[in-house]
Amino acid sequence: MNDTHKMNDLKTVGEFGLIDMISRQVQADSSVCVGIGDDCAATTMPSGHVLLTTKDLLIEDVHFRRCWTSLYQLGRKSAAVNLSDIAAMGGSAHHLFLGVALPEDMALADIEQFTQGFLDEIAAAGATLCGGDTCRSTGSLIVSVTVQGSIAADQVVQRSGAQVGDHIYVSGTLGDSALALAQLQRGIIPDDYLAQRHHTPTPRLQLGQQLAERKLAKAMIDVSDGLCADLGHILEKSHCGALIDRRKIPLSVVTQQHLRQHPEDEELVLRGGEDYELLFCVSPQHGNAVADLAQQLELSLTDIGTIQDFAGGLQQLDSNGQRCTIHTQGFNHFG
């Protein structure tokens, strides 16, 4: 066996060689007193803030296919989906913990690419990798990410604050990620725009923070399971109903073009997940403030409907302007 082969081999480098490789890719950060290499990380948090903590799992062949994504993209997405939860509370992200179960045959170069993607995504959020856990997987690649962030205690935006009459907004466009996935499942290669929306979603951290700081969002969630499912979570926690206008749901040009040719894919807009846009409820008098923020962030924020009484459930005006009830179920792992 030559040296190059040895260098590429996970077995030769071993757990600690790998952790060392990861830690050498990490930039120092002043909020980290003790980082990778001890029993725990020791970190500081902005004073007056409460700690936000969230975790997401990404499992091969459940959440992703290695033949559809690069390891760099997977690294970015593993970070992004977690950062998106911090955004949905209005917080800032600080410290991440990366758990990986690696199939023995994974090339070191792939792991390095994965880590680089992860680090690039968290660097864009101003956050740092502070620890994790590494072990061998007898089967698929498993990624488990924990992120800690923070927010001023009086600014936390929960799912439970929506009130009748509030306007329901969504950032960016919906359905792109689900359309990319549907195409991959049908053996079609999505175009660059759709692929990017699916493989490297953008966590809307700045938007979440601004909505919280300016006290514009009364309830907020990130759209990970689909519009109906995630709006359903807000409605359940806020004990409200809603009326959304199907014609107002923001769609990208690519998705609009696709739906003109394939109207049978319409459901992707309401039920497709993984857009990681923010869905939030705002008092009607704050419409102008939301428009100002959209302009400032150069991000579209679209009013798609209003919060209603609980009794009506979730209703939509369909593409013909007809009112009908819709079901809130989205993706369910055990469904």
SS3 138: coil
User: What's the 3-state SS for 220-242?
Assistant: EEECCCCHHHHHHHHHHHHCCEE
In whole angstroms, give the CA distance from residue 222 to residue 31: 27
- Residue 3 in contact with ligand ADP, rule: CB under 6 A: no
Q: Nearest approach, Cβ of 114 to Mg ion (angstroms)?
A: 18
- x/- contact string, 91-110, with ligand ADP (CB under 6 A)? -------x-x----------
How many residues bind ligand ADP (CB under 6 A)? The answer is: 13
CB atoms under 10 Å from CB of 271, counted, come to: 20
Binding of ligand ADP by 20 (CB under 6 A): no
Residues lying near Mg ion in the complex (CB under 5 A) are found at 133
279: which DSSP letter?
E
Q: Is 24 in the site for ligand ADP (CB under 6 A)?
A: no
Which residue, 130, 144, 125, is CA-closest to 55? 144
Region 154-183 residues binding ligand ADP, contact defined as CB under 6 A: none
19 lies in the binding site for ligand ADP (CB under 6 A): yes
36 binds ligand ADP (CB under 6 A): yes
Determine, following the binding rule CB under 6 A, whether residue 113 of this chain makes contact with ligand ADP: no
**39 binds ligand ADP per the rule CB under 6 A:** yes
Among the candidate windows 6-14, 37-45, 173-181, 259-267, which touches ligand ADP by CB under 6 A?
Answer: 37-45
Strand locations in the chain, DSSP E? 32-34, 42-43, 49-59, 92-103, 128-137, 142-152, 167-171, 219-222, 241-245, 278-282, 301-308, 314-317, 323-325
- 191 is a contact residue toward ligand ADP (CB under 6 A): no
Residues that bind ligand ADP (CB under 6 A): 19, 22, 36-39, 98, 100, 129, 131-134
